[in-house]
Chains A and B, each alone.
Chain A
Amino acid sequence: MTKLTALRDAVALIPDGAVLMIGGFMGVGSPHRLIDELVRQGKKDLTIIANDTARKGVDIGKLISAGAVKRLVASHIGLNPETQQQMIEGKIAVELVPQGTLAERIRAGGTGLGGVITPTGVGTVVAEGKQTIEIDGETFLVEKPLKADFALVAAWRADYYGNLQYELTARNFNPAMALAGATVIAEANEIVPVGMIPPDQVETVSVIVDHLVAREA
């Protein structure tokens, strides 16, 4: 039943051109080891779905610096000038999504919903080219679900089945992304024996986690 996978083997599963969701908010709660290994293995043409690209050369910013990203779906890139520069130069196609809409689109993708009906962005450039609908006299935008080939998530604690717990603001997009990735690879600060995480405290359920990155020897 163990899902332990060596870091390099887990990342080797990811082909060039894959669509990846990567958890984290300004690097907090990002899977640092998985990101470093993606860079080391020289992955390219990736599509990244993430809240942001952290800072230049930090966490997801390392993938930007490495030229590994051809498309980015994010809510904020303001603290990483390199992402903005690559966008202006046409090296990365960037879709900017309001943060709450991004979270709900990922949730919709992971929970079998056909889309998100939200007031956020109505009447702004975000609404361009999108369907709107009226419900009880109020206008909403229809936003499509997001899914990924792989979700790379970071947990505070895992058990060997792959049940996950998170900590404080390192939680952020990780639980929703774990549902929306066809293959889910998790890394954790700590791996504990099965049974040590009480059922009421499991936040991401092991059945959706495919690989748990082993601690390095």
Chain B
Amino acid sequence: MDEKTIIAKRVALELTEGSLVNLGIGLPTMVAKFLPAGIRVFFQSENGIIGMQPLPEPGEANDALTDAGGTPTSFIPGAAAFDSVASFGFIRGGHLAVTVLGGLQVDEAGQLANWMVPGKMVPGMGGAMDLVSGAKRVIVAMTHTAKGAPKILKKCDLPLTSVRRVALVVTELAVIEPTAEGLVLRETAPGVSVADVVAATEARLIVPDVVPTMAI
């Protein structure tokens, strides 16, 4: 299993029946493919739809319907479309159960940086700041390191997306829960030891006596 598949499969286990979920572009979008059997969720795309079905059937693409990355998509029966004001009302207003976002850095305070690298990459925050401010749960889905360098740090040095503490960080090595006491190592990936995770992490990790393996 490649690292993105590990992450997407583990994040999918966090989604519960009937909940409203927003998946960021890139890796988080893969989560939709791994929903556990029998679980039905409503996917929101911030460009204005709830009930998005990530992959259109061949020939079903509609010029007036894409996901937030501009990729053609389709919708399930019972879907609803609305404008950007309403869309972000759902997001900021706490109506979203879960948002899954990519990350550049997360730190010991559970704060996320994911929208710019000054002087190098300035894509803009898009909807990320609103999503992190307003969703009931924020799950960060990202690789544990970037070209060998840790992304889970004592303190983010990139501009923050929000000062709010995220709920969960899922990587190809581990599941980490930011708490008021710090980052708690909740699970390791199959074949990965606690020592492996600690070695790939700059931040201090709180390691409970028992750290189960991801049930993926």
Docked-complex contact A25 and B124, CB < 8 angstroms: no
A158-172 residues at the B interface, CB under 8 angstroms: 166-172
**Size bracket, chain A contacts:** 35 or more
Docked-complex contact A75 and B127, CB < 8 angstroms: yes
Among A5-13, A123-131, A144-152, the stretch that binds chain B is A123-131
Residue of B nearest to A99 (CB): B127
A113-162 residues at the B interface, CB under 8 angstroms: 118-126, 156
A26 to B45, CA, bound (A): 13
A78 at the interface (CB under 8 A from B): yes
Q: Which residues of B contact A (CB under 8 A)?
A: 45-49, 62-66, 68-70, 75, 81-85, 87-88, 91-92, 121-130, 133-134, 159-163
Docked-complex contact B48 and A176, CB < 8 angstroms: no
A71-105 residues at the B interface, CB under 8 angstroms: 74-79, 84, 87-88, 96, 98-104
Docked-complex contact B125 and A170, CB < 8 angstroms: no
A181 at the interface (CB under 8 A from B): no
Contact of B130 among A76, A79, A120 (CB under 8 A): A120
B150 CB to closest chain A CB (Å) equals 22
Residue of A nearest to B130 (CB): A100
Q: 3 nearest interchain CB pairs?
A: A78-B123, A100-B88, A26-B70
A29 at the interface (CB under 8 A from B): yes
12 further interface pairs, Cβ-Cβ under 8 Å (given A124-B129, A167-B64, A175-B83):
A26-B47, A55-B70, A75-B125, A99-B88, A103-B87, A119-B133, A120-B92, A122-B163, A169-B81, A171-B82, A172-B84, A174-B83
Docked-complex contact A118 and B124, CB < 8 angstroms: no
Docked-complex contact A176 and B92, CB < 8 angstroms: no
Residue of A nearest to B48 (CB): A169
Q: A126-B129, A169-B48 are in contact. Are A176 and B85 (CB under 8 A)?
A: yes
A28 at the interface (CB under 8 A from B): yes
A103 to B86, CA, bound (A): 9
Contact of A99 among B83, B125, B161, B162 (CB under 8 A): B125
B68 CB to closest chain A CB (Å) equals 8
Name the B residues within 8 Å of A126 (CB-CB): 125, 129
A211 at the interface (CB under 8 A from B): no
Contact of A101 among B47, B69, B122, B130 (CB under 8 A): B130
A51 at the interface (CB under 8 A from B): yes
A67 at the interface (CB under 8 A from B): no
Contact of A123 among B48, B68, B162 (CB under 8 A): B162
Name the B residues within 8 Å of A54 (CB-CB): 70
Name the B residues within 8 Å of A156 (CB-CB): 64
| 9 A-B residue pairs with CB within 8 Å | A26-B66, A76-B124, A99-B46, A119-B92, A119-B133, A121-B129, A126-B129, A166-B83, A169-B81
Contact of B64 among A29, A101, A106, A122 (CB under 8 A): A29
